[in-house]
Amino acid sequence: MMEIERKNHNATNFTSDLRLLDYQSKKLYKNSFQLLSKLSLHHKEIKSILEYSQDLKSVLLTDGKKYHNKLFKFRTLVEMFNSKKSQIVNKQINHGNYVKELQNLLKSIEEILTEYKTEERMIAEALLQQEVELWQDCLNMEHRISVWENDSKLPDKINSKIQNREHSINSLTRLSIGSKNLPTEVNEFQNFLDNHGGRTGGWTEDEHLKFLKHYKIKKFKYKNECKDPENEDFNNHDHDDDHHDHDDDHHHHEKEEEENKLSNLTIDHHEQKTIKDENLNQINKDNSNMNINVLHDELANIIMTKTPKEIAEHEKWWKEYQKLENAKRKAIKIWSENRRLNMQNRKQSKEKNNENDDTMGTNHKSHIKQHLSISQLEARKAELELWRNQREEIKKQEELLKKEIENQSKQAELELKRKRQEKIQHKISMYKQEKMAKKLTTLHQLKIQTEMEQLIRQQKINEAASRIEQRTINQLNQLSARKKAKEQSEIPRQELLERIPIQTNIQVTRDPQRLCQLTKGWEIRLTQPKTQTIIHQGLNLSVNTGRMIPQWRRNL
């Protein structure tokens, strides 16, 4: 008994906990829906999610109503069948006419079940078709990935990759050698990008664009925190650039002096920039601590995937990025201008040297022509023509070899592609055949199962109908037997009644003296003592003189 009481107590606690959880879940759903509806006014993505959820809810409601109506119809038919069956069993209704009605009810129930099964089967077939299509897409992707892996393992492509790597390494070495002549700001900017996640600071493009959009809008509200301390830097840089351009105009003749001055300029510029950055950072620390919570909380509400701390770090990164980019631009301008001046100086020096060489060459050729004869000149011309022809033939042969190699490589690639396509098509066809065979077997099994179920159901219906018929026949036989028994019992009774003589002459005796005798009530009255009683014989006229006298005679 104690154990049973414990179990009942646990069951009651469990049901109460379930009700509590249900109430809390409904409350949470309501609050979340209200919050999302508020956020959807400012965010299109959340609005689209809410619309999608409402569409899903409406679809689920419509489907639920359809299934509820079908089940309700089925339940009503089953209840009608059970009620009529119980009435027949309890002998409340004559069962001779209601057998066909029960059979019709059973047929209607079977029709509803078959319709429901056909609908479910159609839905299952559509889902199977979608599954086949998805499986084919997955197989195609798997084949592509395997092909890519096989291609990466081929030796020709390995050699080409190695060559590309060597070429890239050579290019990088050239850039690194050339970057020695470049200003330090360019290398600093590139290192900053490599170390801090590229041009978006490790964020996605959408998040970075949202940050820039709302940061620029709200920058005017929080000027103490958000204003860019780079305008002064730009002015200082422009002033320095003008000064350096003036110096370079004076010293554009000597190459080494210009390169040394460029390096000195970039170093001085970098030192000035670092000093200014330190001063500005000290000033901005106090201001940023005041407004960091307000601005960054607002941006965190807009960019839902980031916290206020992450937004503050991204803001610092963005300021450093702008500083380094502007410094790089200024340094590239200075470097390009100096390079242009160097190129101009080199061209001028080359033109002067070429003029001197041309004057010397003309004199030398005229001197050689004077010493050479006509036969020697013709032999030299013939040698030159032979050399040119040989060079052209070698070029043509090289071009033909290149074309042949390209054609061979293309043919090999086409053959590989054809073989891959054949393999993929063969596997797809095999998969389709297997899937179709499975589908046919499942359909055949379902058909056999439905037929067997129909046969079993028909047998049950026939058995029920035969039972009902036998029961009705038995009941009819019992009724006929009862009637016969009643008739047989009535026959001897009638015979007895016929045998009894009928008494028609009935005589009644009466006392004629009773008419003249007193009744008991009068006898009691007469025996009682007599008392004087006042007999009222109308009203006394002396009391009311005006009574029963017409009005016109009363005062006469």
* pLDDT at res. 292: 55
Cβ-contact 174, 168 below 8 angstroms: no
Cβ-contact 255, 342 below 8 angstroms: yes
Cβ-contact 87, 93 below 8 angstroms: yes
Please state whether the predicted TM-score (pTM) of the whole model is above 0.75: no
Q: How far apart are CA 485 and CA 501, in angstroms?
A: 28
* % of the chain beyond a pLDDT of 90: 7
| Residue 474 confidence (pLDDT) above 90 | yes
Per DSSP, 411 falls in state H
| Residue 241 confidence (pLDDT) above 60 | no
DSSP result, 252-317: -S-HHHHHHHHHHHHHHHHHHHHHHHHHHHHHHHHHHHHHHHHHHHHHHHHSTTS-HHHHHHHHHH
Tally the C-alpha atoms within 13 A of residue 291's C-alpha that lie toward its C-beta: 16
* pLDDT at res. 537: 55
DSSP result, 32-67: HHHHHHHHTTT-HHHHHHHHHHHHHHHHHHHHHHHH
From the number of C-beta atoms within 10 Å of its C-beta (0-12, 13-18, 19+), residue 317 rates as middle
**What's the mean pLDDT in 158-168?**
48
388-403 confidence digits (pLDDT tens): 888 888 888 888 988 8
Q: Which helix (H) or strand (E) holds 207?
A: helix 205-218
Q: How far apart are CA 451 and CA 446, in angstroms?
A: 9
* pLDDT at res. 471: 92
Per DSSP, 182 falls in state S
Q: Which of 378, 396, 207 is nearest to 302 (CA)?
A: 207
SS3 373: coil
Helix axes 255-302, 231-250, angle to 10 degrees: 170
Q: How far apart are CA 127 and CA 114, in angstroms?
A: 20
Q: How far apart are CA 182 and CA 176, in angstroms?
A: 9
In order of 38, 46, 53, 431, the CA distances from 31 in angstroms are 11, 15, 15, 49
Q: Which of 149, 144, 157 is nearest to 423 (CA)?
A: 144
- State the greatest distance between any 2 C-alpha atoms of the chain, in Å, as a whole number: 211
Q: How far apart are CA 490 and CA 359, in angstroms?
A: 167
Cβ-contact 182, 335 below 8 angstroms: yes
Quick one: tokens of 289? 């601590």
* pLDDT at res. 182: 65
Q: How far apart are CA 316 and CA 522, in angstroms?
A: 135
Read off the pLDDT band of 280 (50, 70, 90).
low
* pLDDT at res. 258: 47
Measured on CA atoms in the order 494, 500, 504, 506, is the torsion positive or negative?
negative
Cβ-contact 338, 265 below 8 angstroms: no
263-277 confidence digits (pLDDT tens): 444 444 444 555 455
Cβ-contact 109, 74 below 8 angstroms: yes
| Whole-number CA gyration radius for the chain | 60
| Residue 363 confidence (pLDDT) above 60 | no
Tally the C-alpha atoms within 13 A of residue 321's C-alpha that lie toward its C-beta: 17
Read off the pLDDT band of 322 (50, 70, 90).
confident
Residue scoring higher pLDDT (444 or 550): 444
Computed over every residue of the chain, the mean pLDDT equals 73
Q: Which of 46, 19, 21 is nearest to 34 (CA)?
A: 46
Read off the pLDDT band of 105 (50, 70, 90).
confident
Instruction: Provide CB contacts within 8 A for 324, sequence distance 6+.
Output: 185, 188, 189, 192
Q: Which of 114, 117, 102 is nearest to 460 (CA)?
A: 102
Q: What is the SS3 assignment for 317-336?
A: HHHHHHHHHHHHHHHHHHHH
* pLDDT at res. 213: 80
Cβ-contact 165, 311 below 8 angstroms: no
Read off the pLDDT band of 341 (50, 70, 90).
confident
| Residue 452 confidence (pLDDT) above 90 | yes
Read off the pLDDT band of 455 (50, 70, 90).
very high
Q: How far apart are CA 247 and CA 240, in angstroms?
A: 11
| 372, amino acid identity | L
Read off the pLDDT band of 380 (50, 70, 90).
confident
Instruction: Provide CB contacts within 8 A for 461, sequence distance 6+.
Output: 103, 106
